[in-house]
Structure 1
Amino acid sequence: MKTKLLVITALFFIGSFVTTAQNDTRFGAMLAYGTEIENLGIGVNAEFPVMENLNISPGFTYFFPKDEYGINVNWWEINGNANYYFTDREDFGFYGLAGLNYTHVSIDYDDSPIGGSMEASDGRFGLNLGAGANFDIGSSITPFAEAKYVIIDGSQLVIAAGIKFNI
């Protein structure tokens, strides 16, 4: 139940920014790969300009459940980053990012023949450091790529690519 509440809260938070959008605001979707969970995920993010060359970028990533040796792992994260654009030309924008991360991991083990089972979950706060690039293709859709390192207990590198819609 806590997971659903956090997901709904994150989507509401992102949606409230979209309704107050200004020029150069973007909302996007992405595919991601996490090196610690070693699995693909999907996510949403947004960018809201706050000053010249500086955007606030909230995001949510849900990694697909992973089942190894009877242990089911669920992993998701909420991010709040600041993107600083070093280069923001018409066709290409390169930015560094830094921000906060909340990662939630839950595991579930069910050994039906023996009758034993186990469930556990944990959430941790961490820091994001990384870089990304937007590629302007001359439409309201902007492809992007991003790599960030999440500094947390169980740190991981997250590599993502997707599209942002200019609003």
Structure 2
Amino acid sequence: MKKLFFIILFISSIGIAQAQEQGDFRVQLGADYRLRINEVGANAGVEYLFLDNFGIAPNFSYYFPDFGRIMNLNVDLRYYLTQGVSQVYILGGYNNYWENFQPGLPGQSRTRPGGNFGAGAFFDVGETLGFITEFKIQSQNSRLPVLRLGVVLNLGGY
């Protein structure tokens, strides 16, 4: 009986699973965690799959340090290695990092452009909902590792 249940569950999950296809559009909300310095941030972004298995994903992070402001803009190129319910991808891209530890005072802010690379996975839990987890290394700030977790809304093709 257990085996029959798992076989039915597996077959139904294959039928529900959607592959990433050209023209798909996704919206993402989540949290970032900067591993070495233990800072948490909020993240929002979009992803557009311009070719099968290739997506461009701009996103913006706002961190909550003890004082000041820290923001990060990423524009990543993603290549999906797998399809189905669990979609694993590798990424590389450009990011720009802004920090200001004394808001309101001139000359106290700085910006650092750089690159990033990493890997992630999108977990499909329905036709329009999914979860994402991502690990990336950002070249500025002494190659700072960042872990991202989020909820994704799949808006389908456009």
Q: With the length of structure 1 as denominator, give the TM-score of the two structures.
A: 0.73
Q: Aligned AA for 1:85?
A: Y
Q: How far apart, in 1, do the equivalents of 2:70 and 2:78 lie?
A: 24
Gaps of 5+ in 1: 1-21, 110-116
State the structure with bigger RCO (CA 8 A, min sep 6), 1 or 2: 2
Equivalent residue for 1:75, pick from 62, 70, 86: 70
Aligned equivalent of 2:123: 135
| Structure 2, unaligned runs of 5 or more | 1-21
Aligned equivalents of 1:163, 1:75: Cα separation in 2 = 22
Q: Distance in 1 between matches of 2:70 and 2:36?
A: 10
Of 144, 147, 152 in structure 2, the residue corresponding to residue 159 of structure 1 is 147
TM-score normalised over the length of structure 2: 0.77
Query: Counterpart of 1:96 in structure 2: which amino acid?
Result: I
Contact kept? 2:23, 2:51, Cα under 8 Å: no
Change (3 A) 1:160 1:144: same
The superposition leaves residues 48-105 of structure 1 with CA deviations (integer Å, 9 ceiling, x where unpaired) of 01111100000000011x22xxxx232110010000001122x110000000000001
RMSD between superposed Cα atoms in Å: 2.0
Counterpart of 2:138 in structure 1: which amino acid?
V
Structure 1 consecutive aligned stretches of length 4 or more whose deviation exceeds 4 Å: none
Q: Which has the higher strand share?
A: 1
